[in-house]
Structure 1
Amino acid sequence: MTASGISPSAVATFTAQERERFLANNPNSVALAERARKSLYGGVPMHWMADWSTPVPLFVERAKGARFYDVDGHEYVDFCLGDTGTMFGHSPDPIARALIEQASNGLTTMLPSEDAVVCGELLAERFGLPYWQVTATATDANRYVLRWARAVTGRKTLLVFDGCYHGTVDDVMVRRRDGQTVPRSGLVGQAYDLTQYSRAIPFNDVAALEAALVEGDVCALLCEPAMTNIGMVLPEPSFLQACRELTRQYGALLIIDETHTISTNIGGCTRLWNLDPDFFVMGKPIAGGVPCGVFGCSQEMAERMQSARSEAQEHSHGHGHSGMGTTLSANALAMHCMRANLEQVMTPAAYAHMLPLAKRLADGFRRLIAGHGLEWSVTELGARCEFQFCPVPPKTGAEAEAAFYDELQMVLHLYLINRGILITPFHNMTLCCPDTTEADVDRLIATLDNALADLLALPNARE
């Protein structure tokens, strides 16, 4: 028997059945997939869009609220929501109006507007850091904050947690294997040694954190308050407080990336847990699904950033480039949508709706797991929850990865897709939005329950 309690042979049989069902029910997606292979690398506009459980990509026609519709006319309840890119639902009405309002008033000018001022004020009020900058993505925000961290500390080494997620910043593409920092497997075109200035340590390990910081070369610890992309991993009590105390003790900065963990609260874990970071980063959901990212900093950091910038300009005789910012950063369209999102979409009322639904979903997962006699666990984080193929919730990225059973995960996802439900593709994470209903939640629980019943009814399923 596998660690999950379900045999590979049963999973393989189940997968064949569900793949056949998908191909029979989705002729238009199949046809578009064939056509796309002639012009799009891998048949999709971004290669990871082919990494779902379906035998060919599922092509979407439209999306609204907690639902989307494919090109074959099927309706889906969406618990993925763009992997938090549309955390508050697809095309919320205030965002749709903001897009229309700004469309004829200029999309980008390289100049600020009143929207920018309002967004800065709202961000400062919500997250507790006084100064803000706007980027095109959270990856950009993390990249720029890392530059600032190196500039203000005079140090080069970045500290991250094993299995972290901070977009596609080069410096975070490391893992911890056999006690050593190594490049992530599968990296393409990596030209220099990432381990020279990046160090990966286990999450929830205070001793490892201090051992990494005591060397005195770490500019910053870049971390999510809870790990979300290796499977969800929650912090142990007082661990994040230790992160704050130890970074200060050893002269490193604390950067909190809440791109995914904003599911917890209107002020994120940063305000909910009083994390007091030097820098705060967020991307995907901040402008209601329009590409945008932000980073905020403390008063002290703002002063040190200005000193570092003045010094760099002095050395370059007043010319040069900071290495930060793109032409479309803080464009007028993104700023107008971010303002609408902060004022009208990402509200206390939205969280008041989302959080109880996620709790209902997590409780339902636990009931059906127990009902099938499986030794799995469920992890919750605000509006997010996830079932994992291990008896207790993991404490580190390595533990979460060890519980992966890719073939089982993929066929369960495919079973759900074939019955009109979508969850996050890369692990078993779900997200509830303001448009999700109790009926949607109950439908997901019942459908997953049926999936497990059908799978476990196969011969030798529990071998």
Structure 2
Amino acid sequence: MPTPDRCRLADLRATEEKRFRDLHPRSAALAEDAAGPLLAGVPMPWMTRWPGAFALTVDSASGARLVDVDGIEYVDLCLGDTGAMTGHALPQVAEAISRRAATGLTTMLPSTDATWVAAELARRFGLPSWQFAMSATDANRFVLRFARHLTGRPRIAVMDWCYHGTVDETLAVLDGGRVVPRPGALGPQVDVAATTAVVPFNDAAALERRLAEGDVACLLMEPALTNIGIVLPEPGYLAEVREITRRHGVLLVNDETHTLCAGPGGATAAWGLQPDLLVVGKPIGGGVPLAAYGMSAEVAARLAGSMLGHEIDVAGVGGTLTANALALAAARATLSTSLRDDDFAVATPLAERFTDGVADVIEQHDLPWHVQRLGCRAEYWFCPPPRDGAAAAAAVDEEFEGFFHLYALNRGVLLTPFHNMALFSPAHTAGDVDRHTEVFGGAVEALMG
């Protein structure tokens, strides 16, 4: 198979870096202004990882388009890394936010929207009882507390190279069979080996061996890995996970924050899964920060007494702005009009078209690369498809990824940072997909010479 020339790759990257600077003088000036008041020059440190010498400043976003402060329009295949999976600036969400803002944003009391949203989530995911959080990170953190409380067991289990937000216990990987902090994790509060068991994805035997030790309260997992790249479950694997966790008295938690791309009820509904608890965040608020966690009737009954305790306000669950009226109004507007079967009927075929287009380019050049799809999300790899998180992490090629991201960005296509990933909404078109295929093909042609 042909192998791209790394020296040629470096020259092409330098050319694209210059083009980026030339195209974005206003963003460059704003980045310079931000270098003093903002740590790392950006409002969140990971924004430094976008391609190019500085982060672009966005002027507006609507549907499947972004416009930056230099007036350049982009096909947005990132969609806020799932936060804008519905498309940007939904009119119905904007209207609901405006109405709610005029009548109070937060009161520490229930709104009628709360019950509606919980009932809708129950209908979609099949779990009857729900609570809310500000983010999926918070929701995961709360669920882990519940699991330890209910089981009396000290550890939680996660998949190797998973990502569940900024939850301390989940920032753990395997290194030669030992549980160690994930590379890049800053200032772990305790040794993760004391809080966390880690097992490889798609390895039921490893899960069986670890859970048999009897100290794990719950297994927190995505039905398919996404944050290390899309790694799909092998046939029968998720059924084995459910059987093993039940047999060892371990609560199974599905984190559907990204795998919601599989359908209106995420992979849980699409694949007929039966978790004890479920977390979902990001897109359900139409861009307004909100997450939710649901549970089976059995888990809800076991928790009921604790939820009515006199000191529940200091239990480590919730927050003053959690379940605020603004977020729940936005969620009701979002879930009543989007992320429905009709929306996925548009978005998923676009992801299929993306997958086919990328696969055709790969095949034309006889490259040992691969493109993977999960619902309305797709991603290409510069290797054969990985089976687990460790293989996915080992396959990361930052030189290739940086070049392809920057090449696409300079031609009006925005991919998800840290991945070669594209997410589709009903606002995208076949023309948007074909534009990416054209740009991807051009990048490969330039690379292969």
Q: In 1, distance between residues paired with 2:70 and 2:311?
A: 59
The answer as to 2:23 corresponding to 1:17 is: no
Q: In 1, distance between residues paired with 2:173 and 2:337?
A: 39
Query: Is this contact kept in 2: 1:60–1:68, CA < 8 A?
Result: yes
The answer as to 2:419 corresponding to 1:427 is: yes
- Matched residue of 1:95: which SS? helix
Query: Is this contact kept in 2: 1:94–1:345, CA < 8 A?
Result: no
**Letter matched to residue 453 of structure 1:** E
Q: In 2, distance between residues paired with 1:169 and 1:79?
A: 27
Aligned counterpart, 2:390? 398
Give RMSD over aligned pairs.
Answer: 1.3
Q: In 2, distance between residues paired with 1:346 and 1:386?
A: 21
Q: Deviations over 1:303-347 (max 9, x none)?
A: 11124557xx5xxx8687211001110000000000011101222
Choose the corresponding residue for 2:179, options 174, 178, 181. 181
Query: Is this contact kept in 2: 1:92–1:345, CA < 8 A?
Result: no
Query: Is this contact kept in 1: 2:179–2:192, CA < 8 A?
Result: no
Deviation at residue 181 of structure 1 after TM alignment:
1.1
The answer as to 2:334 corresponding to 1:346 is: no
Choose the corresponding residue for 1:332, options 307, 325, 330. 325
Structure 1 residue runs of 4+, over 3 Å off? 307-310, 317-320
Query: Is this contact kept in 2: 1:160–1:221, CA < 8 A?
Result: yes
Q: In 1, distance between residues paired with 2:349 and 2:103?
A: 40
**1:362-401 map, 5 Å:** 362-391=355-384, 393-401=385-393
Choose the corresponding residue for 1:411, options 369, 381, 403. 403
Q: In 1, distance between residues paired with 2:18 and 2:231?
A: 35
Q: Percent identity?
A: 49
Q: In 2, distance between residues paired with 1:102 and 1:346?
A: 22
Aligned counterpart, 1:110? 108
Q: In 1, distance between residues paired with 2:317 and 2:85?
A: 27
Aligned counterpart, 1:260? 258
Deviation at residue 407 of structure 1 after TM alignment:
1.0
Aligned counterpart, 1:62? 60
Aligned length: 449
**1:295-334 map, 5 Å:** 295-308=293-306, 313=309, 321-334=314-327
**Letter matched to residue 430 of structure 1:** A
Deviation at residue 5 of structure 1 after TM alignment:
2.9
**1:9-408 map, 5 Å:** 9-308=7-306, 313=309, 321-391=314-384, 393-408=385-400
**Letter matched to residue 259 of structure 2:** T
- Matched residue of 1:385: which SS? strand
Could you list the runs of 5+ residues in structure 1 that have no partner in the other structure?
458-463
Q: In 2, distance between residues paired with 1:318 and 1:92?
A: 39
Aligned counterpart, 1:461? none
Scaled by the length of structure 2, what TM-score is found? 0.98
Query: Is this contact kept in 1: 2:181–2:188, CA < 8 A?
Result: no
Q: In 1, distance between residues paired with 2:29 and 2:53?
A: 12
Q: In 2, distance between residues paired with 1:83 and 1:196?
A: 31
**Letter matched to residue 417 of structure 1:** L
Q: In 2, distance between residues paired with 1:305 and 1:192?
A: 27
Deviation at residue 413 of structure 1 after TM alignment:
0.3
**Letter matched to residue 397 of structure 1:** G
Q: In 1, distance between residues paired with 2:307 and 2:217?
A: 17
Q: Deviations over 1:128-147 (max 9, x none)?
A: 00000011000000000000
Deviation at residue 7 of structure 1 after TM alignment:
2.9
Scaled by the length of structure 1, what TM-score is found? 0.95
Q: In 1, distance between residues paired with 2:415 and 2:311?
A: 51
Query: Is this contact kept in 1: 2:79–2:423, CA < 8 A?
Result: yes
Aligned counterpart, 1:456? 448
Could you list the runs of 5+ residues in structure 2 that have no partner in the other structure?
none
Alpha-carbon distance change, 98 to 64 in structure 1, aligned in 2, over 3 angstroms: same
